[in-house]
Structure 1
């Protein structure tokens, strides 16, 4: 009997994990699931992160050092950043288009939206902010009594510990000076940076600095270091291979834990939570699916001849399924590199340079979700954002995505900054928290698919793409 392909095993693990979680909620097994099954999912993510961070360090050093010509590095780096910027802007545009066409926030019953609007005006008055559209419900006597009732409720809304924690993190980012992001990229101690996923940009900076320095020393001095880096890379890739053999079980445990945590022992609770957010979730989901199944394949079709639609997805499907289950571009990075190299025929010099940068800088799915979320929350509070304010969302979401850590739910912190950029209440993230984990899984698939697309484009432009189905010539 032919052995089932790994990505099908992972998909089966995904399905069984969700089924188990539903059964555990129905029969009251959630405590058992969270105590005895979910920890294996945590172990899985920890193992991948254990491999991912040093793999980023050594792969970038190895990739930069093997380029040989410093001028090639500058050319390739410029192409990479430009390509990632273009796909990010496309993603935000898709998100804004969908949320304006579907208007999911206006599909909620009117009384709830009026209450939300009054809450917004009370908050804006307390913060000394101008009401966005110039309409003031607080000046209407018909809503005065309701406003007094809501003002008591609003004071309690900020007590959510999760929201407060994320607001504090965003506040620190907002209060920093204009050049603080540049300062934050340069590490004081690389070992501290390696120990914190939030400092991945510092790891990339050090790796680029180290690799570039290798290019400017005599070859006989640099070669032993390069050989060492190459050997370490092989060790980490073997670690990936060993971990992935157990991926179907780990993925089962991960999904069982995530769904059980949301449902508890009452499956109806999940139904109620998702009912109010269904249209918002649908808008985000449609946007993400458009990026995965239309935008990226279209880019590949236009610029790369020979890679079929089915062939593209078949090549990267293991990375996509793993990205969905882990919600982490960084944790998926080792598998993404393997898929792009072995299945799409991208040269190792390209993958070791482009993909680690993409795992940190390219957050197309996160940007799309932020754009939809902000406009949805505005609609939910009866606020009509102008075109200029929505363009501000595009700019802020694009810049914020560069600072997003490639780990689960990091986009929520960045979403607070995006909300503040258009003068909306950052505490509103509490509204979308219940469905964030599921959508986070989907947007991570977009991020990983975008990374694979851009690395293929760069490889094609550099004459380093050798797709198994057809040899390709250099040039776009």
Structure 2
């Protein structure tokens, strides 16, 4: 009996954690440092996934759009944006409630504040990335939407521009009276079918790739540094869990009227891969495969909803930004008023969309929030120890939220999914 893919990935993650803990960062085998070996294997897998993104997204959107009418497109787009905005707002409010109840930054925080005063090269490098960022960076999301060069956008991984171009191409392909329109439609459909097959082949190596990614992370990060930030870590994990296991399943049950447990089972490979890669975009090929083949959402709906979600829908990131900003405020002894907390919620919602394509996106967003409420950027240094693990967790939440949206939209469009 063949072991299901999600169990293979789960076992690989457990073995990787053991290997990382037992070997540590400096272990060698045959003169080769183990962490270098882990990184090599993980990078190969990650590169293979990234290789699929552009052709899969473009072909999926264009072939899906070719069968959608103008009225249907407006309806589909409106529902998608409404769900993404609503789920992100709910995630942020959950984070705000949890961080106010647990108050991870309250109590004796002198040691934490003192830790920011030293010469930390990692903190200096991080601050260099976020220095000068402001809420005006949110406007860049509209600039990235219309690329000047579609080939350059594909090379640079500017997904929002690619999505916009693909939507336009598919929209006008569906309305073209050219004798070659049918040929083009078959071409994009054939390309999508082939990319799907390649995705399935790449996923056979997922357990090996996940092992390398997790083992490298555990070996280099360790767990000792987490102790001073344990309350903050618990607050973020609890808030993410409430959103993933309470809020989103309620949407599946009462809006889509499907079985949430079946959707968890369907999305397990994608969520585990998202956790190990910490990249919604890199996981997109597998997310689309799971939603289509395991949840039963049509190519038309998934091809529109999921690429857009992987680019702009960041529930886990938005939640984390809110909790992190509130935590830093508590550490510095700042008691935020309701209006200031509302500002945090609003900026977190906007930045989770607007700065998603910028390197160190979540830290950039947090720096914008800190500047808005008048806190020093050095507070970001408190987040660096736990950032990698929490990045992995919030990415898994981002991916699951995207998949929930696809199921909800599919059911609202009258599709009969496999989740009943």
Q: 1:51–1:236: 8 Å Cα contact kept in structure 2?
A: yes
Shift of 1:215: 3.0
Unaligned runs of 5+ in 2: none
Residue 66 of structure 2 aligns to a residue in which SS? helix
C-alpha spacing 1:211/1:427, structure 2 compared with 1 (3 Å) = farther
- Matched with 1:444 is 395
Residue 195 of structure 1 aligns to a residue in which SS? helix
Shift of 1:182: 2.0
1:302-313 correspondence runs (5 A)? 302-305=254-257, 307-313=258-264
- 2:338 corresponds to 1:362: no
Q: Deviations over 1:86-105 (max 9, x none)?
A: 00000000000000000000
C-alpha spacing 1:348/1:228, structure 2 compared with 1 (3 Å) = same
Residue 37 of structure 1 aligns to a residue in which SS? helix
Shift of 1:302: 0.6
Give, in whole Å, the separation in 2 of the partners of 1:163 and 1:188.
30
Give, in whole Å, the separation in 2 of the partners of 1:114 and 1:47.
42
- Matched with 1:467 is 417
Residue 418 of structure 2 aligns to a residue in which SS? coil
- Matched with 2:145 is 185
C-alpha spacing 1:206/1:427, structure 2 compared with 1 (3 Å) = farther
- Matched with 1:20 is 19
Give, in whole Å, the separation in 2 of the partners of 1:254 and 1:404.
25
- 2:185 corresponds to 1:226: yes
Unaligned runs of 5+ in 1: 120-152, 264-269, 471-476
2:323 corresponds, among 361, 365, 372, to 372
Q: Deviations over 1:412-457 (max 9, x none)?
A: 2222222222222223212111111111111111111111111111
Give, in whole Å, the separation in 1 of the partners of 2:201 and 2:175.
36
What is the TM-score of this pair, normalised by structure 2?
0.93
Give, in whole Å, the separation in 1 of the partners of 2:135 and 2:347.
12
What is the TM-score of this pair, normalised by structure 1?
0.83
Give, in whole Å, the separation in 2 of the partners of 1:43 and 1:114.
39
C-alpha spacing 1:446/1:6, structure 2 compared with 1 (3 Å) = same
- Matched with 1:282 is 234
Residue 430 of structure 1 aligns to a residue in which SS? helix
Residue 66 of structure 1 aligns to a residue in which SS? coil
Greater Cα shift, 43-52 or 422-431:
422-431
- Matched with 1:212 is 171
Give, in whole Å, the separation in 2 of the partners of 1:339 and 1:110.
44
Give, in whole Å, the separation in 1 of the partners of 2:184 and 2:395.
34
Residue 106 of structure 2 aligns to a residue in which SS? helix
- Matched with 1:70 is 70
Give, in whole Å, the separation in 2 of the partners of 1:110 and 1:32.
38
1:24-173 correspondence runs (5 A)? 24-25=23-24, 28-29=27-28, 32-67=33-68, 69-107=69-107, 109-112=108-111, 153=117, 156=119, 160-168=123-131, 171=132
Shift of 1:54: 2.6
Residue 160 of structure 1 aligns to a residue in which SS? helix
Residue 99 of structure 1 aligns to a residue in which SS? helix
- Matched with 1:432 is 383
The two structures, once aligned, show a CA RMSD in angstroms of 2.3
C-alpha spacing 1:379/1:210, structure 2 compared with 1 (3 Å) = same
- 2:248 corresponds to 1:296: yes
Shift of 1:158: 8.3
C-alpha spacing 1:422/1:3, structure 2 compared with 1 (3 Å) = same
Q: Deviations over 1:350-388 (max 9, x none)?
A: 000111101111100000000000000110111111111
- 2:240 corresponds to 1:240: no
C-alpha spacing 1:53/1:161, structure 2 compared with 1 (3 Å) = farther
Greater Cα shift, 280-289 or 199-208:
199-208
Q: Deviations over 1:99-123 (max 9, x none)?
A: 000000014x25437769xx9xxxx
Q: 2:60–2:299: 8 Å Cα contact kept in structure 1?
A: no
Give, in whole Å, the separation in 2 of the partners of 1:219 and 1:321.
45
Residue 130 of structure 2 aligns to a residue in which SS? helix
Give, in whole Å, the separation in 1 of the partners of 2:207 and 2:151.
32
Shift of 1:85: 0.3
- 2:327 corresponds to 1:327: no
- 2:215 corresponds to 1:256: yes
Q: 1:190–1:202: 8 Å Cα contact kept in structure 2?
A: yes
Give, in whole Å, the separation in 2 of the partners of 1:251 and 1:159.
26
- Matched with 1:194 is 154
Greater Cα shift, 158-167 or 246-255:
158-167
C-alpha spacing 1:71/1:25, structure 2 compared with 1 (3 Å) = same
Q: 1:113–1:382: 8 Å Cα contact kept in structure 2?
A: no
Shift of 1:469: 5.6
Q: 1:92–1:367: 8 Å Cα contact kept in structure 2?
A: yes
**Count of residues in correspondence between the two structures:** 418
